[in-house]
A = this chain, B = another copy of it.
Amino acid sequence: MPAMMKAAVFVEPGCIEIDDRPIPDIGPNDALIRVTTTTICGTDVHILKGEYPVEKGLIVGHEPVGVIEKLGANVQGYREGQRVIAGAICPSFTSYACQDGCSSQDGGHHAHGYKPMGGWRFGNTIDGAQAEYLRVPDAQANLSPVPDGLTDDQVLMCPDIMSTGFAGAESANIKIGDSVAVFAQGPIGLCATAGARLRGAGLIIAVDGVDERLEMARKMGADVTLNFRQVDVVDEIRKLTGGRGVDASIEALGLQQTFAQALRVIKPGGTLSSLGVYSENLSIPLDAFCAGLGDHRIVTSLCPGGKERMRRLMQVIDSGRLDLGPMVTHRYPLEKIVDAYDLFSHQRDGVLKIALEVS
């Protein structure tokens, strides 16, 4: 009989609960990780609610921090007992898409057309990280050692929201001195704000409706914050940029309204970098789009993965450039994950991110 572990399993819409599962076997290109800390993502809440379909019985979660328990025969240069993370998007790096510079979309091509989030495997197409143990496929490409001295909490955002938020800033092609508006200051928007700061933006305007989040945005590097409940955001951004518009805007929510505002505030020649997951057709307002004549760019980014990406993000933390620690607002043991989902999905108590302590 195989050794067993605790894991958070998607039972059916409305129900994720802790169950006993066999500790995974691994193949020659895999690694087995003993998870020490993980967290819950907005996407997991979509899974819980049945809004994003996964198979019943799947272990959910895609943000692992842990220790190498076992290495497949082909995985070189690591040692058991080593602390590692792996990105939420966990590409093979052997596909045409990866070699073409788009590793996030690895495996996205299927006989029946393209599957969104093609490269996303943990807690999507294979068992995930909200468990005591995790099988990491293509481990040679995805295991990234945690630098000495960094805590689990400090690197917990790397696998997903830090990588995603930064990608929003990177795709915006920010230049030194750019003005940037970031719409929504949830975990990803906050990381986008931090990313814009890291890329050299000269004026960062953070937008949200919750004052606590705007306060956190200032900690992450925003120069100005706007509460959309109190001001006309578009007008205000126009004023702050002398009528010029921002060089780039970042949408980090996934709503028509923020998408349209993010387009409306960019200058001719500007970029709208979109991170939101939308749930309906989007409308592009003709005037904001200058009828197609504004030299605009609208760019979307999915979370970059792979060990090099993780290495870079941890380097940023290790050098003290950025402290995402304050974003961990709550802590739960894995066993109490149902409570954690409840708190997180209802956005109670000022929650930003929850550290799930596993072992």
Instruction: Using CB atoms and an 8 Å cutoff, list the residues of chain A in contact with chain B.
Output: 27-29, 74, 92-94, 96-105, 108-109, 111, 113-114, 116-118, 138, 140-141, 166, 170, 175-179, 195, 198-200, 202-203, 223, 238, 243-245, 254, 267-269, 274-286, 289-302, 306-309, 311-313, 315-316, 318-319, 321
Q: Are A93 and B141 in contact (CB under 8 A)?
A: yes
Query: Could you pull out 16 A-B pairs where Cβ atoms are within 8 angstroms?
Result: A27-B74, A93-B93, A96-B308, A97-B269, A99-B141, A104-B295, A105-B269, A111-B243, A116-B291, A176-B198, A200-B200, A274-B292, A279-B291, A290-B300, A293-B302, A297-B298
Chain B, Cβ-Cβ closest to A110: B243
Given contacts A245-B114, A293-B117, A302-B295, contact A98 B93 (CB under 8 A): yes
Contact B94 A294, beta carbon cutoff 8 Å = no
A295 to B120, CA, bound (A): 13
> Which of B102, B276, B286, B301 is close to A282, meaning CB atoms less than 8 Å apart?
B286
Chain B contacts for A103, CB-based, 8 A: 99
Contact A141/B243 with A268-B118, A292-B300 known, Cβ cut-off 8 Å: no
Q: Is the CB of B297 within 8 A of A277?
A: no
Nearest CB of chain B from residue A114's CB, rounded to whole Å: 6
Given A116-B290, A140-B94, A286-B279, check contact A319 B99 (CB 8 Å).
no
Asked whether B243 lies within 8 Å of A308 as measured between CB atoms, the reply is no
Check B295 against A297 for contact (C-beta < 8 Å). no
A267: chain B residues at CB < 8 Å are: 97, 105, 109, 114
Task: Choose among B29, B268, B298 the residue that contacts A74 (Cβ–Cβ < 8 A).
Answer: B29
In the complex, residue of chain B having the shortest beta-carbon distance to the beta carbon of A202? B315
A281 and B290 within 8 A (CB): no
**B residues in contact with A166, CB < 8 Å:** 176
CA distance A170 to B173 in the complex (A): 12
Report the bound CA distance from A279 to B284 in whole Å.
12
Known: A93-B98, A203-B315. A294 touches B244 (CB 8 A): no
Contact B294 A302 (CB under 8 A): yes
A93 neighbours in B (Cβ, 8 Å):
93-94, 98-99, 141
Are the CB atoms of A319 and B74 closer together than 8 Å? no
> Are B278 and A289 interface neighbours, CB within 8 A?
yes
Is A177's CB under 8 angstroms from B313's CB?
yes
Chain B residue with Cβ nearest A29: B74
- Nearest CB in chain B: distance from A211 CB, A: 22
In the complex the two chains form, is A306's CB within 8 Å of B99's CB?
yes
